[in-house]
Amino acid sequence: MTSDNFLPGTVVMLHSFLQHHKQFRGDICIIHDGLSLQSQAILEDNFQSLKFLTASSRLTEKLDALVAAQPKIASRRARFLSIEMFALSGYDKLLFCDSDMLFRGSVADLFAQQAELICCGDGAHYHGNARDPETFLEVSPETSCDALEQTFNAGFMLFDASLCNAENYAALIDMISPERWQKIQTGHTDQMLYNVHFAGRQKLASPAYNYLLAYSDAIIQKSGAKLSEALVLHYNGPVKPWSPGAILENFQDRPMLIQSVQIWNKAFTDFLSQAHLREEFLDKARPDKDIDA
d(CA 60, CA 32): 12
CA angle 128, 133, 135 (to 5 degrees): 95
pLDDT tens-digit map of 217-259: 999 999 999 999 999 999 998 889 998 887 788 776 676 788 8
Q: Tell me, what's the pLDDT at 266?
A: 96
d(CA 257, CA 213): 8
The domain limits of the chain are: 4-284
Q: What are phi and psi of 113, to 5 degrees?
A: -80, 145
Single-letter residue type at 186: T
3-class secondary-structure state, position 159: strand
Q: Tell me, what's the pLDDT at 292?
A: 42
Tell me the pLDDT of the chain (293 aa) as tens digits.
999 999 999 999 999 999 999 999 999 999 998 999 999 999 999 999 999 999 999 999 999 999 999 999 999 999 999 999 999 999 999 999 999 999 999 999 999 999 999 999 999 999 999 999 999 999 998 877 789 999 999 999 999 999 999 999 999 999 999 999 999 999 999 999 999 999 999 999 999 999 999 999 999 999 999 999 999 999 998 889 998 887 788 776 676 788 899 999 999 999 999 887 655 555 655 555 443 43
Identify which of 16, 10, 39 has the alpha carbon closest to the alpha carbon of residue 281.
39
Q: Tell me, what's the pLDDT at 202?
A: 98
Q: Tell me, what's the pLDDT at 18?
A: 97
Q: Tell me, what's the pLDDT at 244?
A: 83
Single-letter residue type at 284: K
Single-letter residue type at 29: C
pTM, two decimal places: 0.91
| Cβ atoms 268, 8 nearer than 8 A | yes
3-class secondary-structure state, position 243: coil
Q: Tell me, what's the pLDDT at 33?
A: 87
d(CA 61, CA 198): 24
Classify domain 4-284 at the CATH superfamily level.
Spore Coat Polysaccharide Biosynthesis Protein SpsA; Chain A (3.90.550.10)
Q: Tell me, what's the pLDDT at 279?
A: 59
